[in-house]
Amino acid sequence: MYDCIIVGGGFAGLQAAIQLGRYGHRVKVVDKGYGRSTLCRSYRNLIGWPDGVSGQELRRLGQLQAQRLGVEFVQDEALAAARDGETFEVALYGGGSGGVLKGRTLLIATGIADRYPALPGLEERLGYSVYVCPDCDGYETVGRRTIVMGAGEAGSGMALALKYWCDDLVYVNHERKAIGSAHRGKLEELGIAYVEAEIAEVLGNGSSEEGAFGGVRLTTGETIQGERGFIAFGGNRVHSDWAVSLGIERMENKHIVTDPRTKMTQVPGVWAAGDIGVHAEQSVIAMGEGSQAAIWIHKELLKRGARRHIQVEAQGCAVTRSR
């Protein structure tokens, strides 16, 4: 029986695990080993990392930090969850430990997945020179010709948002989805070039710079040159279906509704943090929400008389203390 089961090993889940580990609670993190953060090769808007840091490296360091506090990890994926009185059960697919985990509290931190087509050359440039969030990385487009690769109004909306930073913009409507007259008119008014054509390949720029973006080649054979790219295809997947049997409240887009102060859902004992919630999709906010949720999980565990289990590492020896 764990004090808390955390499903999701991204930034929200890891920050919560570290906080709960420092409280001395018994914590199990279910981490499938990949997610939105693993695709970003370089976060440049995080304090302390002026030259950028990859999502993989942050996850590695976060997991190491949590493990030193006694937090346990299993590489697996949640299949379903159920409530049994004041405790919870999480069934796993079985790729890691299999079976069912039991915990007094549950934190849902499974995040979302960006939808994008399998374009050759795209994934290896994500986070280096191709981005998904204008608030995080619009700054990177200043003074650089930028291509938005997208679909319909999701893509045109991204192009319009990026106009704040970038004067030289091209929107390639890869999926040729309809755009309303208001968006089309605004694109023309702001001088944003519009191309309705399928992309065959995302190109490098011929340099040795890792992850460099040079533009796109269309299926017509035409090449559009650029220095930075953004993707905006819409229809991102929200990973909350596995927890719906708990009776949690969700919006129409499947994001989970929580109390803004505590991050607890309307189901007692169940919290949600990070991109799965309503809804910022910011790495630093995911971390903050993970810590915020953990603080209130700790308060709930104190009410239930949880004991403290501190694992101290000294000179290579681990000593467990309970109180």
- Least reliable range by pLDDT among 2-16, 229-243, 251-265, 308-322: 308-322
Range of weakest confidence among 31-40, 154-163, 208-217, 230-239: 31-40
Distances (CA, A) of 56 to 37, 38, 53, 104, 244: 7, 5, 8, 30, 29
Average pLDDT over residues 6-35: 96
Residue range 219-247, pLDDT digits in tens: 999 999 999 999 999 999 999 999 999 99
Q: What SS3 string covers 51-103? A: CCECHHHHHHHHHHHHHCCCCEEEECCEEEEEEECCEEEEEECCCCCCCEEEE
- Residue 261 CB coordination number (10 Å): 8
273 and 293 in contact (C-beta within 8 Å)? Answer: yes
Distance (Å) of CA 282 to CA 200, 238, 273:
30, 15, 11
Asked if the model's pLDDT at residue 321 lies above 60, the reply is no
DSSP per residue over 247-288, as a string? T--B-TT-PBP--TTT-B-SSTTEEE-GGGBSS---HHHHHH
Give the pLDDT score at 323: 53
Answer yes or no: are the C-beta atoms of 173 and 117 closer than 8 Å.
Answer: no
pLDDT of residue 315: 40
Q: What is the pLDDT of residue 307?
A: 77
pLDDT tens for 51-107 read 999 999 999 999 999 999 999 999 999 999 999 988 999 999 985 556 899 999 999
SS3 helix, strand, coil % of the chain, rounded to 5?
A: 30, 30, 40
Structure tokens at 27: 């914590």
Q: Which residue bears the tokens 């603080």?
A: 295
- Given pLDDT bands bounded at 50, 70 and 90, which one contains residue 318? very low
For 197-207, what is each residue's pLDDT tens digit?
999 999 999 99
Place of tokens 């949600």: 272
Residue 314 has pLDDT above 50, yes or no: no
**Strand order across the beta sheet in which 223-225 lies:** 199-203, 215-218, 223-225
Answer whether residue 319 shows pLDDT above 90. Answer: no
Pick from 108, 114, 96: nearest CA to 37: 114
Q: Which residues contact 311 (CB under 8 A, 6 or more apart)?
A: 68, 69, 70, 318, 319, 320, 321
**How many residues are there in the chain?**
323
192 Cβ contact list (under 8 Å, min separation 6)? 159, 160, 163, 169, 170, 171
| Residue with the larger pLDDT of the pair 314 and 127 | 127
Nearest to 83 by CA among 237, 223, 232, 243: 243
What local confidence, expressed as pLDDT, does residue 294 receive?
A: 98
List pLDDT tens digits, range 136-186.
999 999 999 999 999 999 999 999 999 999 999 999 999 999 999 999 999
pTM > 0.95: no
